[in-house]
Amino acid sequence: MVWIFEIKRELINQRAVKSEVKESNIGYIRISSFDVDADKDFSKELNALKAKNIKGLILDLRQNPGGYVSSCLEIADELLGEGMVVYTEDINKNRQVYNSKGDGLEVPLIVLVDEGSASASEILAGAIKDREAGLLIGTKTFGKGLVQSVESLKDGSGFKLTTQKYYTPKGISINKIGIEPNIEVKPMEIKEDQREEDIKDLQLERAIQEMLKQIK
C-alpha cells in the first residue's frame, strides 16, 4: 500500500527571544540568536518583565551564535547607558566606533555565556563586562570577531574577505580570544544513564545565587 501526502511548504518562524520570571522576582531573558527582529522582541519581553517589577535581570546568551550586529546594538541601548559598545579596526588602524544611546537598565544584570556564544553575543557580553554594567557567568566565549564581506567572481563563485576586526570598549580583540566570564562555572557533566530530573543547570543556579546577593 502506498500513501500519498500533500506537503505545504511554509516559512517557520522560531522565537529567538523568550522570557520568564524566576524565584524572588528575578527576570530571565533567553536570546537564542540575534535575528532581524531580536531587538524588537527583546524590548517587548523586557517591558513585560519591568511591568512585573523584577528586581534583577539574567540575560542568557549561551549557545547564541550571533546574527545581526544591528539587533545587538539596539539591545545594548536597552541595557547600557551612553557609551561605547564596540569598535572595528582595519589593517590601517582606521576605526569605526559604535555607541549605545539608551538610559540603561535600572536593576542588576547578570549575563550567561559559554563556548557557543559567538560574534554579536560576544560584542554585547564584552561591552557589559568592560563597562561593568553587569556580571558575566559561565565559560569563555567562542572568539569570533571579524567583519567579512562576500566578493563575487566572474565564474559565479565567490570568497569571503576579512576587512576589519571587532574590539571591546577596553580594546580587547574578540577574534580567537573570546570573552572571559567574571565567574567561571562549567556546565554539569551528563552521564548516559542520568535521569532528566537529576540534570541541573549549574550556571543558571549560580547566576540566581549571585543575583540574590545583589538584590538583598
Q: What is the pLDDT of residues 172-199, one digit of tens each?
A: 999 999 999 999 999 988 777 778 777 8
Q: Which position has the higher pLDDT, 86 or 188?
A: 86
Instruction: Kindly state the average pLDDT of the residues 89-115.
Output: 95
Grid cell of 151 as nine digits? 566578493
Q: Listing from the earlier edge strand, what are the strands of the sheet with 26-31?
A: 17-22, 26-31, 56-60, 109-113, 135-138, 183-184
What is the Cα Rg of the chain in Å?
20
Catalytic residues: 119, 130, 144
Other CB atoms within 10 A of residue 79 CB: 23
Q: Please list, in sequence order, all residues whose beta carbon lies within 8 angstroms of the beta carbon of residue 88, skipping any fewer than 6 positions away.
A: 95, 96, 98, 147, 164, 165, 166, 167
pLDDT range class, residue 148, cuts 50, 70, 90: confident
Which domains are assigned to the chain?
A: 17-186 (3.90.226.10)
Q: What is the dihedral of CA 86, 89, 95, 96, to 10 degrees?
A: -50
Is pLDDT at 11 greater than 70 in this prediction? no
Report the percentage of the chain scoring pLDDT > 90.
78
Grid cell of 172 as nine digits? 580587547
Grid cell of 158 as nine digits? 565567490
Using a cut of 0.75, tell me whether the model's pTM lies above it: yes
| Separation between Cα atoms, residue 207 and residue 62, nearest integer Å | 13
Which helix (H) or strand (E) is 96 found in, with range? strand 95-100
